[in-house]
Structure 1
Amino acid sequence: MSSAAPKLEQDPITILEELMAARFSCRRFRDDPVPRAVIERILTAAQKTASWCNSQPWRLEITSGPATEAFRKVMYAAASSGKPASGDFPFPREYTGVYLERRRESGFQLYNALDIPRGDKAGYARQALENYNLFGAPHVAIIHSDEALGTYGAIDCGGYVTSFMLAAQALGIATVPQAALAFHSDLVRQHFGLGDDRKVVCGISFGYPDLGHKANSYRTNRASIAETARFHDEEL
């Protein structure tokens, strides 16, 4: 009996390319929950993420049903009241040049899709608050790391977030990574009973996508290889 692995219909790189091309930041979800077995399969796949010294620093708080509604209520109330941000990691000092251009383009794509007029700051603010409504998702995963691991722990968690999202995409589950949920890390720690040694990296709201919603009708652009990589073939 042959022990060779079964031949895939597509090359692994083709599968990966298709998953990465299909994944998008979902900003409106359906109400129906994801079965626990599907969530656990996502977690099993994502656990293979590489990490510094194999430390695997990510820990997750995952909500479903009433737990999601309770967290949504707490976060939305805090954000809509104007509670000051209290993130565990420094936010970008500023966006300039091409980074500012990309940020603006992404924002205007969303606002245009939702028919929010350019310059409508009240409309922008209402849409920003949807982060704390979890875009209607039935689940959220809060990713946190050990304070002692500092930036490297956060970097490893970033790799885990990508693995989580691609595994979810492979199973037909939409995701949106949310730094906004880490803006109130003190509240997140309090809500989930986490110690001060746990630092909140981000959240991932997830569920089945509402593909008919305007917020999911566009896709962001990506820079070319020429804009992001330099090749060195000769000694400098």
Structure 2
Amino acid sequence: MPAEIDKVLYFSLDILRAFGFEQFELYLSTRPPKRVGREQDWDAAETALEDTLKRSGIRYQVNAGDGAFYGPKIDLLVNDAIGRPWQLSTVQFDFNLPERFDLSYVGEDGAQHRPYMIHRALLGSMERFFGVLLEHHGGALPVWLSPVQAVLIPIADRHQEYCKQVQDRLKAAGLRVAIDAGVERMNAKIRNAQLQKIPYMLVVGDREQEQGAVSIRLRSGEDLKAKPIDEFLKMAKEAVAGKQ
């Protein structure tokens, strides 16, 4: 049982770290006054959960009496952009469902035993998770998470066809790329892309078309100047692979 709890908690932490979260608050919620299950099962479960928390090396607090009626749990909270904590992952014992479904297994002693059920919510409510994720990154999602990773901005209509060729090439390499074919001026298109927090703005004019290149602007406002498409592709793929 302890090894399984360890795996679930560490898996939850690894997932949240992959999304860019680094600071966590952990809570152990123990038995409430009204509950189901045997006292020895509550004792074993609470001890196992607390031992896992101690092994994690992350500071935790005990919420006495705040567990569900069917079992104790670990709650994993992260802070949003203004420091408010939100519950995401949960590691939860359940003494109710094994009884309701009459679950059993044959132990090494040849006798029937009631299993412990451990269920988990790795991200919690999806709506809450995405809300906290957007708050955490200030809307500027890492490249690997951005719905649109790059937008091609043609300076004039005559550059549209070249933009389509570049888009096809980048999409074939696995990037999510759009073209801003609107009638606005280039600066307005760049501003729109920055407001949308698109990681890369690829500006295309006569020079870029002749050189087989794109002029790269970052959403931060940094101008990386014109670079060959292969060089941009290498940079973007490295950012994706590095969860940047």
- TM-score tier, shorter chain, comes to under 0.3
More helix by share: 1
Q: Which has the larger radius of gyration?
A: 2
Considering fraction of residues, name the structure with more strand: 2
Higher RCO structure, 1 or 2 (CA under 8 Å, sep 6+) = 1
Compute the TM-score of the two structures, normalised by the length of structure 1: 0.21
